[in-house]
Structure 1
């Protein structure tokens, strides 16, 4: 039960353990989370490119990992649960992780779900061929000379600006296939926009964060047909703790977390609220 309780605290992506050289690109994603609304949210997203793949995910997951490691190790050594463990820590807004496998550029879209015994991962894979139309128009975005390209994808029309300053035919989300890195891309209705904010080389890059290594280790996503993936995941989003409810007795719900006045029931309520908020976006990037 202790293992399950700690797993409830984290909603993180799946990455395979490795330590290699990589290049990290941080994008600001501006988006409209609600259909028909002009209200905008902003989130930093990270694209880590290593020799065999790229990994795109919420930057919060990697940005705060060293802080989580320090706090968790202190808690683990003392044997006392710290009720302020996650205090002042930012929760990710984007739950999915996307892997692009080189050189095929097969795209794997991954989500985490809670099962009875542990957190597990489901995914779907697809071979995407973007029909880019490269324009002769060039300009400068930040420090980068960029060139214009357009395409249609997911029911939206997209304009991208790519730079050959970086030898990567990649970009944020699923986008790829241009003769350089995508520096900026947005759809015609400005529902979603990504702009590169920073980049750096990583000589000791590890695909898996401390939290992932400790709790999830080498879990491999269960790759499903896309239709089946969404059937399972959409049902999960409606009730993230549905699979666990019949296994959690009133005694367990009333049990206090070690070193706190908070019960397991309180923790589950908090986590359920957090997950429902995480999945509240109703204006998807892909309309179909």
Structure 2
């Protein structure tokens, strides 16, 4: 099911984006690739999923998203003036790449539009949702400095954010005050961050120096919400889709076992990284 997401996003974007919706906000100087490991179902903590995420860092700002979203945005921008059929011809190979899960289908811009803010875009329930909030900096720096990641000595920091306690390992060897997701504001790059139950873990595995355009995409009819409201939207979306599968007409299949599998898949997405 994950492979369907970029294709659905592409069809949706064709009808909602105009050429001037893409703003080039910076040029990526270095990209940091993270393996995002997460438990999607709190009732089955042994079922682990993975997503491939990338932090693009430029001169003025940064962007964090799924790797496939970076490729899709770049290609859609290049072929923005082409017809639908021409766009699909050039982008179809990108759409076949491994796609993000529901919990990773966002784009997070750091330091744009304002220097001290995040701007986060989600697409859920056929709506574009946008969150704007201050960059997170509430860390406790610990004494432990005995961890090495990718050859870099790391120091430990801890925090509580959105209902979870976290540990983060950062390195002064890379004096970039960014990290995966919203975990920024430390004296060096965040190499690894995990909640104390290890249900959400970001681990750096590759550093790449490659110049490419960094985009901020403005969607039509986007709705501004706060993080608490977004969690409510996730919960309501799960409940609505579950009801449609088990008792409604929209997602019914002739094979009862298919109904059950779809219903279980929907209800299993109950462990969003933020909890309110």
Task: Tell me the TM-score normalised to structure 2 length.
Answer: 0.67
Confirm or deny that 1:17 pairs with 2:24.
Answer: yes
Residue 106 of structure 2 aligns with which residue?
A: 96
Deviations 1:175-196 (A, max 9, x none): 1111100001111111011111
Confirm or deny that 1:135 pairs with 2:143.
Answer: yes
CA contact (8 A) 1:169 1:177 kept: yes
SS in 2 for 1:29: strand
Q: Which residue of 155, 164, 176 corresponds with 2:163?
A: 155
Q: CA deviation at 1:122?
A: 2.7
1:107 & 1:143 partners in 2: Cα distance? 30
1:124 & 1:152 partners in 2: Cα distance? 20
Residue 117 of structure 2 aligns with which residue?
A: 106
Residue 269 of structure 1 aligns with which residue?
A: none
2:92 & 2:37 partners in 1: Cα distance? 29
How do residues 1-288 of structure 1 correspond to structure 2 at under 5 angstroms?
6-7=11-12, 16-18=23-25, 20-37=27-44, 38-63=46-71, 85=92, 88-93=96-101, 94-101=104-111, 104-113=115-124, 120-207=128-215, 222-230=223-231, 235=236, 281-288=269-276
Q: CA deviation at 1:11?
A: 11
Task: Tell me the TM-score normalised to structure 1 length.
Answer: 0.65
Q: Where in structure 2 are there 5+ consecutive unaligned residues?
A: 1-8, 242-261
Q: CA deviation at 1:32?
A: 0.6
Q: CA deviation at 1:137?
A: 2.4
SS in 2 for 1:16: strand
Change over 3 Å in CA distance of 1:281–1:218 after alignment to 2? closer
Count of residue pairs brought into register by the alignment:
239
SS in 2 for 1:62: helix
1:221 & 1:233 partners in 2: Cα distance? 16
CA contact (8 A) 1:160 1:184 kept: yes
CA contact (8 A) 2:68 2:97 kept: no
Deviations 1:17-66 (A, max 9, x none): 34524221100011111113221111111111122221111112225667
1:231 & 1:191 partners in 2: Cα distance? 20
Change over 3 Å in CA distance of 1:44–1:11 after alignment to 2? farther
The more displaced of 89-98 and 182-191 is 89-98
